[in-house]
């Protein structure tokens, strides 16, 4: 009896031991990719353990590639140019890559595993991108459908960004989102206020993030965001500036104007703000105040469909018509646009007709 | 006899005694992966590979280590061997082909708990197969499983736009189709029968 017990235990242990040994050997040989070197933009070199995905490896080295889905290959944000050291494009990447991107060796960093030395290219600005935890300090209504959210940063406690850049706000799981979702919003506060981030968020019917912000988010709630991102910031030149915005597109312009006021940048500037009726206008005093603070700034709000009780004495008509009327020439001028894709497209037409070359028209492609 | 016997077992395992359609084993991944022909082929190939080799390894383990006193340990031993084998196969695939690894995704590790694979090892014991027959049985069962899942993927592509009654959508209609396929496969039993 005892003998039989020993035999059973012995055989089972022996089999397990042999298999474990095999697994250990396999793990040390087949699954061991050793230390590999990642060269970023031909200058920065990282020595890391191979075998993990590029995205998570970079993240552990504190380089944040934008990623909304958390590395499951469903959002397609984490594109990185891989010059050397990657194999063929994977089937899980194909839905997110265009023909041209594949030719340019663009890869999804969340799918690509590091197996040998790699050479990659990422935009310089991403070195500055971080994840922030913060708390909602204030929520106020700007109009019936736009809220201003002020977030006080906790960890890290300070953000440095250029006026006009955007951050990605995380919507946690709730009724409309079965996984965390990220949406981009321009920062409306001045870069000098490093301890807080102010966003202007307009309600989009059934929008996952905007519904969350408008109906669920309360003062004192914890929020997570990452950033800053984007190429939408004031270029260093002496040209006249034309700002054009509609709705919550005011946010980055407000940030840029505050920055200009603080730095005493005295360039000639015009700001066209398009709305339908007077109840779509907001922060009118603040915008008017910039006319005092800046040496040569004019704020031009325009209503496309003013109603009688608005008592509107300002510009009337589509924003494109107002620009056409008020802007004499496009010479020595650069333009900064923020609004719906339709508005941006229409404004670009008017501005190029005025003589502003397309490379001097700047805008963020959200949507 | 042995070679011919192994050959008969091989064909029987594919057609008349298809492990999926006559024993209804390996249903879980059969239902979930049969949406696309391409992934069915990949999973079918991985299952075939694992089945063929684990049945051979398990035969040796069973006959040299467990017989005569410890045969009651077969369930736990077979499962452990299968799990270790799948793990190593996974590492090899990941090393050799990123593309195949990404295509199989989660279903590769899930082969471990595919009951058809344990079923093959257990049937091989019950039916007292020789080593060659066991290997043939494993290989045949794998190919049979692959045949069935590819056929199912083809049918599901056809019915993708069909008006299926509510409540039968998804797994319901798939199980009904599997039943009809099983009946069709019974037609093969005129060719070979397995004792």
Strand partners, A40: A44, A120
Q: Do A19 and B91 touch (CB under 8 A)?
A: no
Q: Average pLDDT in the B31-51 region?
A: 86
Residue B1 has pLDDT above 60, yes or no: no
A2 within domain boundaries: no
* B99 near A CB under 8 A: yes
Alpha carbon of residue B45 to chain centroid: 10
Say if residue A267 is in the same domain as residue A351: yes
Q: In whole numbers, what is the pLDDT of chain B averaged over residues? A: 87
Q: Average pLDDT in the A42-68 region?
A: 85
A314 within domain boundaries: yes
Say if residue A53 is in the same domain as residue A112: yes
Cα B94 to Cα A113, A177, B29, B97: the distances in Å are 10, 33, 21, 6
Best mutation target among B73, B84, B105 (most A Cβ atoms within 10 Å) is B84
Which chain A residue lies closest to B91 (C-alpha atoms)? Answer: A31
Question: Looking at residue A367, what is its pLDDT?
Answer: 43
H or E element: which one contains A46? Answer: strand A44-49
Residue B195 has pLDDT above 60, yes or no: no
Say if residue A244 is in the same domain as residue A326: yes
Say if residue A215 is in the same domain as residue A251: no
Residue A30 has pLDDT above 90, yes or no: no
Q: In whole numbers, what is the pLDDT of chain A averaged over residues? A: 89
Say if residue A150 is in the same domain as residue A92: no
Residue A52 has pLDDT above 60, yes or no: yes
Q: Do A12 and B77 touch (CB under 8 A)?
A: yes
Chain A residues lying within 8 Å of B81, measured CB to CB: 15, 19
Question: Looking at residue A125, what is its pLDDT?
Answer: 77
Question: Looking at residue A340, what is its pLDDT?
Answer: 86
Which chain A residue lies closest to B38 (C-alpha atoms)? Answer: A91
- pLDDT class for B179, splitting at 50, 70, 90? very high
Q: Are A182 and A171 in contact (CB under 8 A)?
A: yes
- pLDDT class for A65, splitting at 50, 70, 90? confident
pLDDT digits (tens, 9 = 90+) for A167-185: 989 888 888 877 777 788 9
Helix (H, G, I), strand (E, B) or coil at B91: helix
* A11 near B CB under 8 A: yes
Q: Do B69 and A7 touch (CB under 8 A)?
A: yes
Question: Looking at residue B164, what is its pLDDT?
Answer: 87
Question: Looking at residue A322, what is its pLDDT?
Answer: 92
* B106 near A CB under 8 A: no
* B100 near A CB under 8 A: no
pLDDT digits (tens, 9 = 90+) for A316-344: 999 999 999 998 888 899 999 998 888 99
Chain B residues lying within 8 Å of A4, measured CB to CB: 69
Say if residue A149 is in the same domain as residue A112: no
The radius of gyration computed from the CA coordinates of chain A, to the nearest angstrom, equals 26
* A2 near B CB under 8 A: no
Strand partners, A82: A120
**A200: cis peptide before it, omega within 30°?**
no
Chain B residues lying within 8 Å of A15, measured CB to CB: 61, 65, 77, 80-81
CATH value at residue A54: 3.10.20.30
**A70: cis peptide before it, omega within 30°?**
no
Q: Which of A65, A94, A126 is the last residue of a domain?
A: A126
CA distance linking residue A257 with residue B169, whole number of Å:
57
Q: Average pLDDT in the A19-39 region?
A: 90
Residue A145 has pLDDT above 50, yes or no: yes
Say if residue A197 is in the same domain as residue A306: no
* A19 near B CB under 8 A: yes
Three-state SS annotation for A242-307: EEEEEHHHHHHHHHHHHHHHHHCCCCCEEEEEEECCHHHCCCHHHHHHHHHHCCCEEEEEEECCCC
pLDDT digits (tens, 9 = 90+) for B56-65: 999 999 999 8
pLDDT digits (tens, 9 = 90+) for A104-115: 999 999 889 898
Say if residue A151 is in the same domain as residue A81: no
* A5 near B CB under 8 A: no
Query: How far is A223 from chain B, CA to nearest CA, in Å?
Result: 32
Quickly count: other Cβ atoms within 10 Å of residue A174's Cβ.
14
Chain A residues lying within 8 Å of B65, measured CB to CB: 11, 14-15
A7 within domain boundaries: no
Q: Which of A106, A126, A146 is the last residue of a domain?
A: A126
A16 within domain boundaries: no
Q: Average pLDDT in the B38-45 region?
A: 85
Cα A298 to Cα A183, A257, A272, A287, A304: the distances in Å are 32, 11, 9, 9, 19
Quickly count: other Cβ atoms within 10 Å of residue A219's Cβ.
12
Q: Is B162 left (phi over 0), alpha (psi -120 to 50) or beta?
A: beta
Measuring CA to CA, which residue among A286, A268, A170 is closest to residue A225? Answer: A170
Q: Do B77 and A88 touch (CB under 8 A)?
A: no
A20 within domain boundaries: no
Of B91, B99, B102, the CB nearest to A31: B91
Model pTM score: 0.61
Q: Are A315 and A300 in contact (CB under 8 A)?
A: yes
CA distance linking residue A265 with residue A259, whole number of Å:
8
pLDDT digits (tens, 9 = 90+) for B124-142: 999 999 999 999 999 999 9
Which chain A residue lies closest to B75 (C-alpha atoms)? Answer: A12
* B73 near A CB under 8 A: yes
H or E element: which one contains A136? Answer: strand A130-141
Of A7, A30, A93, the CB nearest to B70: A7
Domain assignment of residue A79, given as a range: 35-126
* B71 near A CB under 8 A: no
CA distance linking residue A266 with residue B120, whole number of Å:
82
- pLDDT class for B152, splitting at 50, 70, 90? very high
Helix (H, G, I), strand (E, B) or coil at A317: coil
* A32 near B CB under 8 A: no
Q: Are A361 and A351 in contact (CB under 8 A)?
A: yes
Measuring CA to CA, which residue among B186, B78, B141, B115 is closest to residue A19? Answer: B78
- Tokens at B101, concatenated: 């690894």
Range in A56-60, A263-267, A276-280, B186-190 the model is least confident about = B186-190
Q: Average pLDDT in the A44-58 region?
A: 88
Residue A71 has pLDDT above 90, yes or no: no
Question: Looking at residue B192, what is its pLDDT?
Answer: 62
* B87 near A CB under 8 A: yes
- pLDDT class for B2, splitting at 50, 70, 90? low
| Ordered strands of the A44-49 beta sheet | A44-49, A35-40, A118-121, A79-84, A106-108
- Please give the residue that has the higher pLDDT: either B3 or A337: A337
CA distance linking residue B92 with residue A111, whole number of Å:
18
Chain B residues lying within 8 Å of A27, measured CB to CB: 91
Q: Do B70 and A26 touch (CB under 8 A)?
A: no
The 8-class DSSP code of residue A248 comes to G
CA distance linking residue A41 with residue A285, whole number of Å:
46
CA distance linking residue A297 with residue A267, whole number of Å:
8
Q: Are A336 and A362 in contact (CB under 8 A)?
A: yes
Q: Which of A229, A261, A294 is the last residue of a domain?
A: A229
Of A11, A19, A92, the CB nearest to B70: A11
Chain B residues lying within 8 Å of A7, measured CB to CB: 69-70
Q: Do A23 and B102 touch (CB under 8 A)?
A: no
Say if residue A110 is in the same domain as residue A134: no
- pLDDT class for A68, splitting at 50, 70, 90? low
Q: Are A309 and A337 in contact (CB under 8 A)?
A: no
Say if residue A268 is in the same domain as residue A347: yes
- pLDDT class for B194, splitting at 50, 70, 90? low
Which chain A residue lies closest to B76 (C-alpha atoms)? Answer: A12
Q: Average pLDDT in the A237-243 region?
A: 93
Helix (H, G, I), strand (E, B) or coil at B183: helix
Say if residue A244 is in the same domain as residue A352: yes
Report the relative pairing of strands A222-229 and A130-141 from DSSP bridges.
antiparallel
Chain A residues lying within 8 Å of B95, measured CB to CB: 30-31, 115
Residue A358 has pLDDT above 60, yes or no: yes
Chain B residues lying within 8 Å of A30, measured CB to CB: 88, 91-92, 95
Question: Looking at residue B3, what is its pLDDT?
Answer: 66
A1 within domain boundaries: no
Percent of chain A whose predicted confidence (pLDDT) is above 70:
98
Percent of chain B whose predicted confidence (pLDDT) is above 70:
95
Which chain A residue lies closest to B99 (C-alpha atoms)? Answer: A90
CA distance linking residue A311 with residue B52, whole number of Å:
84
Say if residue A51 is in the same domain as residue A84: yes
Domain count within chain A = 3
């Amino acid at each position: 009896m005892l003998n039989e017990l020993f035999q059973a235990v012995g055989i089972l242990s022996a089999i397990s031991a042999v298999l474990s040994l095999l697994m250990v050997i396999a793990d040390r040989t087949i699954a061991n990719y050793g230390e590999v070197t990642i060269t970023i933009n031909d200058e920065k070199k990282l020595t890391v353990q191979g075998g993990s995905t590029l995205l998570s490896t970079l993240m552990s080295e504190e380089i944040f590639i934008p990623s909304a889905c958390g590395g499951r290959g469903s959002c397609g944000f984490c594109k990185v140019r891989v010059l050397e050291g990657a194999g063929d494009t994977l089937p899980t990447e194909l839905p997110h890559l265009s023909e041209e991107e594949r030719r340019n060796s663009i890869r999804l960093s969340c799918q690509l595993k590091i197996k040998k030395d790699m050479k990659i290219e990422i935009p310089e600005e991403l070195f500055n991108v971080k994840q922030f935890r913060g708390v909602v300090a204030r929520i106020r209504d700007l109009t019936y459908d736009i809220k201003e959210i002020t977030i006080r940063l906790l960890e890290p406690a300070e953000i440095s960004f250029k006026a006009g850049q955007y951050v990605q706000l995380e919507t946690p799981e709730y009724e409309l989102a079965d996984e965390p979702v990220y949406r981009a919003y321009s920062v409306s506060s001045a870069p000098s206020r490093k301890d807080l981030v102010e966003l202007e968020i307009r309600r989009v019917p059934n929008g996952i993030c905007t519904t969350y912000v408008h109906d669920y988010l309360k003062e004192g709630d914890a929020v997570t965001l990452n950033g800053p991102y984007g190429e939408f910031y004031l270029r260093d030149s002496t040209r006249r500036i034309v700002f054009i915005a509609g709705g919550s597109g005011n946010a980055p312009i407000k940030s840029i104007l505050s920055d200009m006021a603080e730095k005493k940048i005295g360039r000639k500037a015009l700001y066209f703000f398009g709305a339908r009726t007077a109840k779509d206008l907001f922060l009118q005093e603040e915008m008017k105040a910039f006319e005092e603070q800046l040496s040569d700034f004019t704020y031009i709000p325009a209503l496309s469909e003013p109603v009688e009780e608005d008592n509107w004495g300002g510009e009337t008509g589509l924003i494109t018509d107002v620009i056409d009327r008020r802007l004499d020439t496009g010479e020595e001028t650069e333009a900064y646009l923020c609004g719906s894709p339709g508005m941006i497209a229409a404004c670009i037409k008017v501005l190029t007709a005025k003589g502003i070359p397309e490379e001097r028209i700047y805008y963020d492609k959200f949507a | 006899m042995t070679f011919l016997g192994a050959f008969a077992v091989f064909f029987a395992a594919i057609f008349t005694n298809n492990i999926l359609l006559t024993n209804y084993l390996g249903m879980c991944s059969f239902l979930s992966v049969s949406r696309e022909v391409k992934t069915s082929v990949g999973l079918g190939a991985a299952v075939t590979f694992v089945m063929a080799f684990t049945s051979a390894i398990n035969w040796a383990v069973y006959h040299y280590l467990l017989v005569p006193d410890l045969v009651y340990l077969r369930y736990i031993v077979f499962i452990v061997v299968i799990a270790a084998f799948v793990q190593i196969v996974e590492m090899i695939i990941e090393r050799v082909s990123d593309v195949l690894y990404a295509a199989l995704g989660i279903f590769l590790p899930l082969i471990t708990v595919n009951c058809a694979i344990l079923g093959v090892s257990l049937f091989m014991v019950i039916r007292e197969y020789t080593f060659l027959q066991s290997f043939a049985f494993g290989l045949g069962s794998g190919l049979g499983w692959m045949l069935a899942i590819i056929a199912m993927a083809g049918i599901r592509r056809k019915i993708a736009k069909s008006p299926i009654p509510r409540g039968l959508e998804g797994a319901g209609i798939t199980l009904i189709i599997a039943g009809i396929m099983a009946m069709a496969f019974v037609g093969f039993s005129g060719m070979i029968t397995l004792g």
